[in-house]
Every structure is written in C-alpha cells, then in structure tokens.
Chain A
Amino acid sequence: MMADSRRTVDAVWRIEGPRIIATLTRVTGDIGLAEDLAQAAIVDALSQWPESGVPRNAGAWLTAVAKRKAIDGWRRRERLDERYRMLAHQLAAGEEQLWEPIPDDVLRLVFTTCHPVLSREAQVPLTLRVVGGLTTDEIARMLLVPVATVQQRIVRAKRTLSAANVPFQTPEENEWGERLGAVLGVVYLIYTEGYAATRGDRWIRTELANEALRLGRVLAGLMPHEPEVHGLVALMEFQSSRFAARVKRDGSSVLLADQDRTRWNRAQIERGRAALGRADAIGRGRGSYSLQAAIAECHAVAPTVEEADWTHIVTLYEALGQLAPSPIIELNRAVAVSMASGPEDAVPIVERLAADGALPRSHLLPSVHGELLRQLGRVEEARAELLTAAELAANERERAVLRAKAAAL
C-alpha cells in the first residue's frame, strides 16, 4: 500500500510538479525555496493520501499545502526579514489568485533551470527535476550516477541561482536567441546522452531519450512561434524512429545503410515531419536543428540508402556547415558528396580536413578517406588509411572490421 501511494504521488508530481514549482517560484522569488516547500507538501501527501484518497485536484492540494508551509515558515522569522513578513501577510490575507498557475511561469522556470550561470552538469538534473517532474531516484537511474550525486548537484544548482540572484524571468529580447539556444542545448544533450549512450543498457537509453522528447514537446507548447524548438523536436523524432533498427540481436550496431527500414517507426517519422513542417511554416528559415532534422527526413523517406536525395543532403550539409562549422559536419558532407557525385569529388574535402589536422585522435577521418580511396581503386593509399583508422579505433570489433577491409584490398 505504501509503495502504491508513493507511485501515485510520483505520478501526480510528474504531471503537476512543474506548474507547482513555477507558481511557488513566482510568489517566493526563489526556486530553491519553492522546491523545498513542494517537497514538504509531498511528504504530507504521502502520509495523508493513503487515508483520504487522492484529492480530486491534487495539484491545487499540493500547492495549497506548500503555501501554508510558506506562511508558517515566514511567520516564524517575521522579525528577521521584513520582506517575508509582508509576503506572509499578503498570502494569509487570501490573495488566492497568486497561486493559480499561469502558463508563462513554466516558461520562466525553463529559462531559470537552463540559466548560463549554471554548468551543464547542474542544468541537466535541475531541468529533469523541476521541468520534467522526475524524482531524484529516477534521474539518478537515467543518468547512471548515485542518488546522492543528483541531490548534491540540484542543491548546488539552487544555491548558485540564489547567489547569482537570477531573476525569475524570461530573457530580454537582446539575449533571447542565446538563452533559447542554451535551453535547446540542454534538452538535446539529454537526448544524445540517451541516444548515443556512453554508458548503460538500451532500456535506459530509450527512457532518457524519451524524456528529452517529452521536454521538447513541452517547449514546443510553450514557445510555438520558435522554429528551432520544432526543429529540435523533429530531429529527435526522426532519430528515435530508428531505435529498433539500430542494434542487432547480439548487441552490435547496424549502420544506416544496413538498417532494416521496415523497422523504422512510421508514426514517429510522421510526427517528425509534422514538427519540421511547423518549423518551416513559421517562415523564419531553418536553424541548425531544423537543418539536421531535414537531413534526417531525407533518410527517413528514402526506401533505400541509394535512393535518398543525396544532392539535397549535400546542400543541407553546406547550409549546416555555414551555420555551425565543424569537422564532423564537413566529414559528413564529404560522405554525402561521394554518394551524390562520386568519390573523386569527396576526396579533396577529406584531404583538406586531414591537412588541417582535424579530428586527430578519431578513426573516422582515415576510415572515410580509406573507403573513398578504395572506391577509386587507389589500393595502396586506401590500405594505409584503413590501417591508420584501425589503430585509432576505440574498440576491438571496429578494429577488426577495418583490418578486414584493408586485407581484402
């Protein structure tokens, strides 16, 4: 029974938590205090709901309890702090409207938990906690760190926000773009941690990636006029649509070219296309998330690798390289160019990267270079590149594949 009520309270928190915290933060001006008050209300819920049943409007119940706790706390310290005394007085006098959630509060909350004063290490658990409505246990499980670490990071994040006196506001127009970029960056970081899974088993990866998608959809609801929010949702939907086809039964990876495309999740691809459509419909052009989503869309709609619109993919990579230049994007462009117009056009791009000393410790550059040279029949050079790639490869399986490729020349 106890475990059941814990799960029920968690479920209510999951749904109502962000709005409760947002409302309490607006009133108290302090996200840390708001979180503490909400926690105290949850403790009450855990002891009372098993007896009384879950209240009809559980969110309002929790908010009201948190409010009472705020007033009690402030009264105790009323001699100490004039501001709190005023607040306690106002709240007790029944300014109920202050406790009604308004949608903008959650948006302020998002910009606060992703505030640049916080490190990424702090932004991620704080955002999952107060915007995602996850428990610290769940966050610890998803991020594969101890619960104490998560708690510590959240506590420290709240202290930092308080010390820096971060206002509970959405950013001003002149810093909007940059701050929005930071918010989207946090969500995408959560997603890629789930997608590329530096650690852990597949189930955890999917769960974390789904969490990022949920956050993305929340952002799309909060900021429907921002094209990059929809672009990010689209990108995550497209990438997730390939989850089932990405890993073989024995746990080894499947390259895009070899994936069974019938196992791609069509409903998810359609959601991705709809989200990209919403980004485009705003009519302010494509940012880097929308461009990456558009590339993913080209693959998603192609029946085979060869049938993808590679010429268009090259154009998209060019645009992406202009917006966010990186050797990885350039290398991807080289692969796309080789598919669109042949390896002879792609080799100079790779050689330029090599001459610049790009990606020095990665096997990716020599691996792509070797493959292109192989296609051109430049056997000796291809072998040398593939063997260099094999030496740099991070795991045995990868190394074996590259060596076999070199030996087969």
Chain B
Amino acid sequence: MKYMLIMRTTDEAIAASRDVDFEEIINAMGKYNESMVTAGVLLAGEGLSDPDEGFVVDFDAEQPIVTDGPYGETHELFNGFWIIEVSSKEEAAEWASRAPLGAGTRMEVRRVHDESDFADHADNEYIQKEQGWREELGTN
C-alpha cells in the first residue's frame, strides 16, 4: 500500500530553521531519503519552494479567482511530500517518525488510493492463470 507523507511547517519553524546551517539540513534530509531508497520503499518525493512563489485559486465565486501569496491565514504550510510503498500503516508511521524534522513541523500521513479500493473481487482463478501467457502472446 502507498502512503503520502505530507510535511507541514509553520512560519515560526521556517524562521527558526534560518539559524541552522543549510548544509546540515540538506545532509539530514539526504540521509533520510537515502534510507528509504535503500529500503526500496521510496516512490516519489519533492520539496516545495516558498509559498510566495506560488498562488491560490479560489472557487468560492462563480469564476475561479487567482490570488497571490500564501494560503489564507493558515499558518501550517504544506512544504513537501514523499510517496512510499509499505506493507502496513505502522510501517508508514515508522518511516514518517524518522523524518529529520523539529518543533513547529508535523507530518500528515495519508493512504493513497489503489485499484483494490475500486475492484470487485470476483476474479476467476483459471482466467488469471492464463493471463500471464496470454498477455505475452495476445498481440505483444
């Protein structure tokens, strides 16, 4: 199963991180990412730039309205994510809690939908048995 680890931070935490050597932050994150790569669990991940480089599209009015700057008055900013493939919720929790983050930050962990959420379970085992061969030979 796939989980998305959503990193959230606050203005205060960002300000505090300015006192820390950026090299140190890069190393800690690099080590964390590497540990997930070598464990074979990391599928994707990105860090997001400052919110003032982004914008907000608001759907309250009839026409969507584009506004500059950070997202409303919320102080918790979404600033990066990872997608991992793990075998349990507990394993996702274990990986999330290993992130090199400090006070003022938090990680929201959400399961990513997969096909089994939509599948019916009436598979026929004989058909499946054939499938491996047939797919090789059907037309490919």
Q: CB within 8 Å of B: which residues of A?
A: 7-8, 10-12, 14-15, 103, 134, 138, 192, 195-203, 205-207, 210-211, 213-218, 221-222, 242-244, 246-247, 249-253, 255-257, 267, 271, 295, 299, 305, 313, 328, 331-332, 335-336, 339, 362, 364, 367-368, 394-398
Q: Which residues of B contact A257 (CB under 8 A)?
A: 138-139
B21 interface residue (CB < 8 Å to A): no
Q: Judging by beta carbons under 8 Å apart, are A251 and B123 in contact?
A: yes
Q: Judging by beta carbons under 8 Å apart, are B129 and A218 in contact?
A: no
Instruction: Report B62-93 CB contacts with A as 1/0, cut-off 8 Å.
Output: 00000000000000000000000111111101
From residue A56, how far is it (CB to closest CB) to chain B in Å?
10
Q: Which residue from chain B places its CB closest to the CB of A211 in the assembled complex?
A: B87
From residue B112, how far is it (CB to closest CB) to chain A in Å?
10
Q: Which residues of B contact A396 (CB under 8 A)?
A: 126
Q: Which residues of A contact B87 (CB under 8 A)?
A: 14, 134, 138, 207, 211
Q: Judging by beta carbons under 8 Å apart, are A199 and B125 in contact?
A: yes
Q: Which residues of B contact A247 (CB under 8 A)?
A: 119, 123, 127-128, 131
B49 interface residue (CB < 8 Å to A): no
A192-B41 Cα distance, complex, nearest whole Å:
20
Q: Which residues of B contact A243 (CB under 8 A)?
A: 115
How many A-B Cβ pairs are below 8 Å? 148
What are 19 A-to-B residue pairs whose CB atoms are below 8 Å? Answer: A10-B88, A11-B91, A12-B94, A14-B88, A196-B129, A196-B133, A199-B125, A201-B123, A203-B119, A206-B116, A207-B87, A218-B38, A243-B115, A247-B127, A252-B124, A256-B138, A328-B137, A364-B137, A395-B126
Q: Which residues of B contact A192 (CB under 8 A)?
A: 132
A218-B40, A397-B126 are known contacts. Are A295 and B131 too (CB-CB below 8 A)?
A: no
Give the residue of B114, B131, B136 whose beta carbon is less than 8 angstroms from that of A253: B131
Chain B, interface size category, equals: 35 or more
From residue A181, how far is it (CB to closest CB) to chain B in Å?
20
B15-70, CB < 8 A from A: 37-41, 43-44
Q: Which residue from chain B places its CB closest to the CB of A218 in the assembled complex?
A: B40
Task: Give the 10 A-B CB pairs with smallest separation, nearest first.
Answer: A196-B132, A217-B40, A255-B138, A11-B90, A214-B40, A395-B126, A251-B123, A11-B91, A221-B38, A218-B40
Q: Judging by beta carbons under 8 Å apart, are B129 and A251 in contact?
A: no
A11-B90, A395-B127 are known contacts. Are A256 and B37 too (CB-CB below 8 A)?
A: no
Q: Which residue from chain A places its CB closest to the CB of B114 in the assembled complex?
A: A206
From residue A6, how far is it (CB to closest CB) to chain B in Å?
9
Q: Judging by beta carbons under 8 Å apart, are A8 and B131 in contact?
A: no
Q: Judging by beta carbons under 8 Å apart, are B116 and A14 in contact?
A: no
Give the residue of A103, A197, A216 whose beta carbon is less than 8 angstroms from that of B40: A216
Q: Which residues of B contact A328 (CB under 8 A)?
A: 136-137
Q: Which residues of A contact B125 (CB under 8 A)?
A: 197, 199-201
Q: Judging by beta carbons under 8 Å apart, are A206 and B121 in contact?
A: no
Q: Which residues of A contact B139 (CB under 8 A)?
A: 255-257, 305, 335, 339
Contact residues of A: prevailing secondary structure? helix
A206-B86 Cα distance, complex, nearest whole Å:
13
Give the residue of B95, B119, B126, B129 whose beta carbon is less than 8 angstroms from that of A202: B119
B97-140, CB < 8 A from A: 114-116, 119-140
A367-B114 Cα distance, complex, nearest whole Å:
35
Q: Judging by beta carbons under 8 Å apart, are A249 and B137 in contact?
A: no
Give the residue of A256, A313, A339 whose beta carbon is less than 8 angstroms from that of B135: A256
Q: CB within 8 Å of A: which residues of B?
A: 37-41, 43-44, 85-91, 93-95, 114-116, 119-140
Give the residue of A14, A216, A246, A332 whose beta carbon is less than 8 angstroms from that of B137: A332
Give the residue of A7, A10, A246, A271 whose beta carbon is less than 8 angstroms from that of B131: A246
A214-B128 Cα distance, complex, nearest whole Å:
23
Q: Which residues of A contact B38 (CB under 8 A)?
A: 103, 218, 221-222
Q: Which residues of A contact B123 (CB under 8 A)?
A: 201-202, 247, 251
A8-B116 Cα distance, complex, nearest whole Å:
24
A267-B44, A295-B140 are known contacts. Are A253 and B91 too (CB-CB below 8 A)?
A: no
Give the residue of A134, A313, A332 whose beta carbon is less than 8 angstroms from that of B136: A332
Q: Judging by beta carbons under 8 Å apart, are B126 and A196 in contact?
A: no
Q: Judging by beta carbons under 8 Å apart, are A7 and B115 in contact?
A: no
From residue A390, how far is it (CB to closest CB) to chain B in Å?
13
Q: Which residues of A contact B140 (CB under 8 A)?
A: 256, 295, 299, 313, 332, 335-336
A198-B90 Cα distance, complex, nearest whole Å:
30
A7-B90, A218-B38 are known contacts. Are A368 and B137 too (CB-CB below 8 A)?
A: yes
Beyond A201-B121, A221-B40, A364-B133, list 11 extra A-B contacts (CB 8 Å). A200-B125, A206-B114, A213-B85, A244-B115, A251-B120, A253-B128, A253-B131, A267-B44, A328-B137, A362-B133, A367-B137
Q: Which residues of B contact A221 (CB under 8 A)?
A: 37-38, 40
A271-B85 Cα distance, complex, nearest whole Å:
13
